[in-house]
């Protein structure tokens, strides 16, 4: 089902402003708006970008969240400029949700000078009381010592399409030991994990006899999938083989009571088709063909924000993935 689209109804901008001026302008926008929109904000989302990053693209993504996670979004752009000061834009948007107009608001801060190294003090005045705070870094990983992270109930990262997968996952591993982390790659893998788990319905005895796992795909997501199977099935690392490929495939071999079985969930071409199968030698076989659903970035981000705190299954998969990449 399509999510409601937010419409911009009021805007404000200013150069070399104070944080109090920005907050005051945002309050004025709401007071001046005549229609009876209600604030149903469920979180504060802080997005951190570099000066050269695509902030318009990211703003478009977070505004699409309004139908599922109405939020106050604070987009912080780290300007490559040693001059002191903050330029700001504040926007108020409205969308229909269950027949009720709902406010969605965002603030863009271009931060220069020393304030770039103390973003916690920049962000703090805009966080809403008693609501969780999520920090999203679309194009990089935050430093573990960044004071901004101390107030975060969840830190959102994306390990997809990164060539430096071993080092990247190691950095995420260090981050996850101190803070709750959500990885958009892990969210995208949810349908694949569900399909693979479903193949064992009616033949659960083979889950205890898996002896070979082959995972192909982009290296970081593939390692996470391999790590999930490694930890969930209590396998030795030598039983899991990772291969870099354009499309995802997961193949398992298992034995139970002297029977051999093969399980597979794979995409074999550019077609958005997933083929899932289980074949037991001398026994039954089952095959499914499923069309892949689109996973727009806003929907994936919304799923990542659907819960706060730690994801223990992800952390186990990440730890096992690092073991596989050693």
Question: Is it the case that residue 53 has pLDDT exceeding 80?
Answer: no
- Cβ–Cβ under 8 Å, residues 168 and 159: yes
In a domain, 316, yes or no: no
Same domain, 209 and 123: no
**pLDDT of 91 above 70:** yes
Q: Determine the pLDDT at residue 265.
A: 96
Both 225 and 118 in one domain: the answer is no
* Average pLDDT taken over every residue of the chain: 87
Secondary structure (3-state) at 34: coil
> What residues does 154 pair with on adjacent strands?
134
Do 17 and 117 sit in the same domain of this protein? yes
Residues 17 and 112 grouped into a single domain? yes
Residues of the chain with pLDDT > 90, as a percent, come to: 50
Same domain, 28 and 144: yes
- DSSP symbol at 247: S
Using an 8 Å Cβ cutoff, are 186 and 226 in contact? no
> Tokens 């089902």 correspond to what residue?
1
State how far the Cα of 219 lies from the Cα of 159, in Å rounded to an integer.
9
Query: Residue 245 corresponds to which tokens in the numbers above?
Result: 């490929």
Mean pLDDT within 177-200:
93
pLDDT at 37: 54
> How does 237-266 read in b/e, with b if 16+ C-beta sit within 10 Å?
eebbebeeeeebbbbbbbebeeebbbbbbb
d(CA 304, CA 46): 14
Between 186 and 293, residue with greater pLDDT: 186
The answer to whether residue 38 scores a pLDDT higher than 70 is no
- 135-157 pLDDT, tens per residue? 998 888 888 888 889 888 999 99
Contact 71, 95 (CB under 8 A): no
262: Cα separation from own chain's centroid: 31
- 185 exposure class (CB count in 10 Å sphere: 0-12, 13-18, 19+): buried
Are 147 and 12 members of one domain? yes
pLDDT of 162 above 70: no
pLDDT reported for residue 92: 85
How much is the average pLDDT of 222-229? Answer: 96
Please check the confidence at residue 35 and state whether its pLDDT lies above 60.
Answer: no
Q: Which residue has the higher pLDDT, 307 or 41?
A: 307
Is residue 201 located within the same domain as residue 141?
A: no
The reply to whether 298 falls in a domain is no
In this predicted structure, the answer to whether residue 1 has a pLDDT above a threshold of 50 is no
Residues 264 and 146 in one domain: no
- Are the C-beta atoms of 277 and 264 separated by less than 8 Å? yes
| Mean pLDDT, rounded, for 86-111 | 83
* Cβ atoms of residues 245 and 225 within 8 Å: no
CA distance 324 to 311: 20
Q: Is this prediction's pTM over 0.85?
A: yes
């Amino acid at each position: 089902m399509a999510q409601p689209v937010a419409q911009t109804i009021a805007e404000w901008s200013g150069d070399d402003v104070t944080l109090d001026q920005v907050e005051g302008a945002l309050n004025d926008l709401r007071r001046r708006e005549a229609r009876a929109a209600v604030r149903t904000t469920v979180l504060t989302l802080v997005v951190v970008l570099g000066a050269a990053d695509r902030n318009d693209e990211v703003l478009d993504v977070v505004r699409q969240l309004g139908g599922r996670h109405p939020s106050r979004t604070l987009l912080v752009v780290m300007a490559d400029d040693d001059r002191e000061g903050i330029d700001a834009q504040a926007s108020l948007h409205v969308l229909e949700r269950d027949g009720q107009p709902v406010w969605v608001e965002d603030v863009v801060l271009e931060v220069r000078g020393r304030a770039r190294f103390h973003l916690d003090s920049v962000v703090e005045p805009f966080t809403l009381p008693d609501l969780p705070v999520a920090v999203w870094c679309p194009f990089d990983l935050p430093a573990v010592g960044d004071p901004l992270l101390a107030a975060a109930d969840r830190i959102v990262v994306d390990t997809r399409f990164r060539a430096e997968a071993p080092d990247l996952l190691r950095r995420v591993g260090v981050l996850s030991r101190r803070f709750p982390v959500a990885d958009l790659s892990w969210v995208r893998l949810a349908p694949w994990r569900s399909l693979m788990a479903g193949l064992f319905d009616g033949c659960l005895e083979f889950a205890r006899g898996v002896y070979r796992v082959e995972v192909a795909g982009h290296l970081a997501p593939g390692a996470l999938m391999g790590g999930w199977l490694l930890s969930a099935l209590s396998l030795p690392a030598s039983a899991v083989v990772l291969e870099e490929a354009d499309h995802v495939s997961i193949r398992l071999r298992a034995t139970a009571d002297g029977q051999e079985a093969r399980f597979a969930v794979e995409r074999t071409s550019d077609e958005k088709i997933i083929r899932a199968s289980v074949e037991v030698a001398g026994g039954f076989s089952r095959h499914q063909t499923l069309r892949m659903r689109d996973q727009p970035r806003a929907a994936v981000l919304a799923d990542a924000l659907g819960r706060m705190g730690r994801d223990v299954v992800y952390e186990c998969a990440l730890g096992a993935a690092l073991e596989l990449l050693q």
